Structure 1
């Protein structure tokens, strides 16, 4: 316990120093919202990766891997191929140039300026502000569970204390403080992942032996998981079964594609000086994402073998049915004591890097995009209104964390990624590459994608519709799909992720409506394209 306290104290001192540096260097709105557009590529890449991968990936999805095995490695592939390579090289350069051409400071402002629409800026800012606290609450729950298991601090106390620490430097220091601390935190996270995977494989006799041991344990798969489609932790999932739909449509597709429209990530492309910095950032980001989340997914699956050899129980049994506890228990029960102290520091880093970015993007969306730009209620006080927005976002996150149930971290993350993908991705991507994309097409795409996604969440997708209860109140069933004959195609739709339906609808609306409506002003489009080659 003394080692944990010492490591935590040293870590916090460095974080507060970097937060102080960010506060000292923040003079104007551009500093607070875009870090002055002069970030080093290493800092940008580590901040991007640390924001992208948080305790929701390490603890939440790592715990999911404890149930569903190596199938989650497909998400790691998409994280690297789509979340880093495609995002930075295909979207990142044009995002940076468009933001510079239109003098934009936030992601909603980028969309609003591209389509000359206060409504688009206000709507997208409102969606981000309203729903990012749900995602942030999942991250806050992840680190609070880790603190609860590691330090014995009650969950509610951990949530409040951690929130107050973050509020201190995010509200005052803006994006510079966030990115400085992100780079430090990301470095710690990467180092801990190398140690974690090395120790795990060594405990099971090496890579080959570890995988053979886990493969031989397929007969220990719980009957409930086997009935849902699981064959084994290395054998995969039967195609078309409820668990297959959950893993590959919600987790792999929903998160793997939804990352492209994450406002807290897209804004980082506008923090560097040139395309050269983005090219350099790809290498740093690719290596970082290979370690995080690749390592937690591997360790999550292999934890079944380690737990069984040590305690005679598989991971989900050890965690008493709550998969959010699998990784924290693994660290406390299996790893050496010294590593437990350092890993807690890494989890602080993972949570603080992502939460600080979520608080920042939620606050700027409320302050600049909704109040200042869309509603024009701020009387020019953008800086102070944005700080107020950050404070409100932090408070809403704490409220959500208080009411959300257990085993919700991965689900809440997938929900936010999918919603952003359906609402923003077509308007964002087509706006960067297609001159023919119109304001009406963008509005139709955003509204249609958002509406379909929310309808599916409220009335079809069982996890959310049953929990929220609106479908039960209106139709008398937890999900409209649940009323269909069991085993039928309609019955399976209750496990189909909303984004599988909503994103194609959003993209179709963007193209069709743009083809049918009046083009944007040619001079404005030329201004948008002035830095494009």
Structure 2
């Protein structure tokens, strides 16, 4: 390993990052600059910031590893992220959010919701949910970066996590959202170049596009018996309809993230940073191409890694990443192992920058949102110093979780956070933009029910979380209270529709409680 080259690349990257953070620091003069980057962001910067925030190591490492197990069925998530996460998000939600946000003078997502319904409770509860749940997502992103650094640079996992966390903190704390945007433009560009090279080299190594995919189809006989019994039908086929794996892929990985993206606070705030609807239209193409390429490449390469490991190791990806200590496969290591094994050494360093860029762009936005939620929305402090202290606190919590969470957790943790946000925020947020009859009481009931149902389903029904938490086992002597298929049905399938129904029913009953300004804002 050429440690001198690795060190030179890292130092150059860190220096550029610090420089951009310093420029942003000098240009951050007010809370508006810190919270929404002054509200005059160029469409390219906004689109790259949105895309690189959305596409993190959770997508590349975590969901890429999931594609190594479940195959090209995850490309449905690519469709959802582009259609819902970019087109619907920008054209439908983004424009209305920008319009209402400007009228109300909102600078954060919780503040937008609170002002919309004239409710301090809604603002503070939104901020509380974000502050409690987002560190789990941040931890998943940190794990993705840590696992790759551990594989490529042969660094102790704990050391990699700590070093990475310090670098991220340096620029998000100093530059606010301007610092985030400047670095996101750089990091998004690095990500795109790295993924472009990755897909080209992968197809070249496997004999071309047609040969690679035919080889992936041919090894369907290598699906392990336990996966085949659960519905796995090969890496180029959808799982058997209604099977255990079908529910995991469709309800958790595709719907959980593909729909949940519409209710992501760290993404919603991006709409408030541009000048007007025209800029959002211009950002659609840039954001769409970026998101399509980043997720598509990650999922295709993750699936094709099975062909490479079969040819070189005689085993599929799942068995190539068995943890030597626990003896359990760690799917979060599939992409890092593939890159370190199949790619030239110089590309390993370049792709390391790709993943660092992906992780840092997402984490900076996450910590920025957590900090503003705690400081601006929950405790009503306007001091930038206190805001930055809140970011440090959230960073420490996320690092702790990254060191304590179990193996193969990245995709699951990401889907959990997206699902909680969807159930808690999406019906209320949608109504705030498009349904003037929604009432404050209806919104509060919807948010409380969506959050509560999600948590209860994870605690007592959904096997992944219920088994890990062990609360159901302690109270009732069973890992889960229900049987198949409910134990593999993601909470979002239950909590999101119920949250929407509660909003509609309670609002219709309490229509007289509607805020006086609601109807005029919905025009």
TM over 0.5: yes
Q: Deviations over 1:284-313 (max 9, x none)?
A: 001101111110100000000011112222
Q: Deviations over 1:25-56 (max 9, x none)?
A: 10111111100001110000000000001000
- Residue in structure 2 matched with residue 74 of structure 1 by the alignment: 76
> Which of 116, 122, 125 is the aligned partner of 1:123?
125
> Which of 277, 280, 283 is the aligned partner of 2:282?
280
- Residue in structure 2 matched with residue 165 of structure 1 by the alignment: 167
> Which of 480, 483, 487 is the aligned partner of 1:494?
487
Unpaired runs of 5+ residues, structure 1, are 373-377, 482-489
Q: Is residue 2:325 matched to residue 1:317?
A: no
Q: Deviations over 1:377-430 (max 9, x none)?
A: x4xx44333222212111111111121111100000000000000000000011
- Residue in structure 1 matched with residue 347 of structure 2 by the alignment: 339
> Which of 166, 178, 181 is the aligned partner of 1:179?
181
* Bigger mean CA deviation after superposition, 514-523 or 88-97: 514-523
Contact 2:106 2:115 in 1 (8 A): yes
> Residues 22-101 of structure 1: matches in 2 within 5 Å?
22-101=24-103
Q: Report the Cα distance in structure 2 between the residues aligned to 1:70 and 1:165, rounded to whole angstroms.
A: 34
Q: Deviations over 1:56-114 (max 9, x none)?
A: 00000000000000000000000000000000000000111111100011001000110
1:235 CA displacement: 2.3
Contact 1:437 1:519 in 2 (8 A): no
> Residues 224-373 of structure 1: matches in 2 within 5 Å?
224-320=226-322, 321-372=329-380
Q: Deviations over 1:463-484 (max 9, x none)?
A: 0000011111111111112xxx
Q: Deviations over 1:304-336 (max 9, x none)?
A: 001111222211111111110000001000011
Contact 1:101 1:527 in 2 (8 A): no
1:159 CA displacement: 0.8
Structure 1 counterpart SS, 2:106: coil
Contact 1:102 1:528 in 2 (8 A): no
Q: Would the alpha carbon gap of residues 391 and 522 (structure 1) be closer, same or farther in structure 2, given more than 3 Å must change?
A: closer
1:525 CA displacement: 2.1
1:206 CA displacement: 1.2
Q: Report the Cα distance in structure 1 between the residues aligned to 2:199 and 2:225, rounded to whole angstroms.
A: 29
Structure 1 counterpart SS, 2:484: helix
Q: Report the Cα distance in structure 1 between the residues aligned to 2:130 and 2:514, rounded to whole angstroms.
A: 28
1:522 CA displacement: 6.3
1:201 CA displacement: 1.0
Contact 2:57 2:358 in 1 (8 A): yes
1:156 CA displacement: 0.6
Q: Deviations over 1:218-271 (max 9, x none)?
A: 111111211211011112211111111111000001110000000000000000
- Residue in structure 2 matched with residue 484 of structure 1 by the alignment: none
- Residue in structure 2 matched with residue 155 of structure 1 by the alignment: 157
> Which of 513, 518, 521 is the aligned partner of 1:525?
518
Contact 2:441 2:513 in 1 (8 A): no
Q: CA RMSD in A?
A: 1.1
Q: With the length of structure 1 as denominator, give the TM-score of the two structures.
A: 0.95
- Residue in structure 2 matched with residue 195 of structure 1 by the alignment: 197
Structure 1 counterpart SS, 2:41: coil
Q: With the length of structure 2 as denominator, give the TM-score of the two structures.
A: 0.97
Contact 2:437 2:514 in 1 (8 A): no
Q: Is residue 2:503 matched to residue 1:510?
A: yes
Q: Deviations over 1:182-204 (max 9, x none)?
A: 11101110111111111111111
* Bigger mean CA deviation after superposition, 8-17 or 61-70: 8-17
1:528 CA displacement: 2.9
1:167 CA displacement: 1.2
Q: Would the alpha carbon gap of residues 522 and 317 (structure 1) be closer, same or farther in structure 2, given more than 3 Å must change?
A: closer
Structure 2 counterpart SS, 1:98: helix
Contact 2:118 2:515 in 1 (8 A): no
Contact 1:457 1:464 in 2 (8 A): yes
- Residue in structure 1 matched with residue 146 of structure 2 by the alignment: 144
Q: Report the Cα distance in structure 1 between the residues aligned to 2:371 and 2:291, rounded to whole angstroms.
A: 27
1:520 CA displacement: 5.3
Structure 2 counterpart SS, 1:64: helix
- Residue in structure 1 matched with residue 463 of structure 2 by the alignment: 462
Structure 1 counterpart SS, 2:175: helix
Q: Report the Cα distance in structure 2 between the residues aligned to 1:6 and 1:312, rounded to whole angstroms.
A: 36
Structure 1 counterpart SS, 2:118: coil
- Residue in structure 2 matched with residue 211 of structure 1 by the alignment: 213
Q: Report the Cα distance in structure 1 between the residues aligned to 2:512 and 2:116, rounded to whole angstroms.
A: 13
Q: Report the Cα distance in structure 1 between the residues aligned to 2:10 and 2:317, rounded to whole angstroms.
A: 28
Q: Report the Cα distance in structure 1 between the residues aligned to 2:497 and 2:237, rounded to whole angstroms.
A: 31
Q: Report the Cα distance in structure 1 between the residues aligned to 2:515 and 2:361, rounded to whole angstroms.
A: 41
1:11 CA displacement: 1.3
> Residues 422-501 of structure 1: matches in 2 within 5 Å?
422-481=423-482, 490-501=483-494
Contact 1:67 1:316 in 2 (8 A): yes
Structure 1 counterpart SS, 2:151: helix
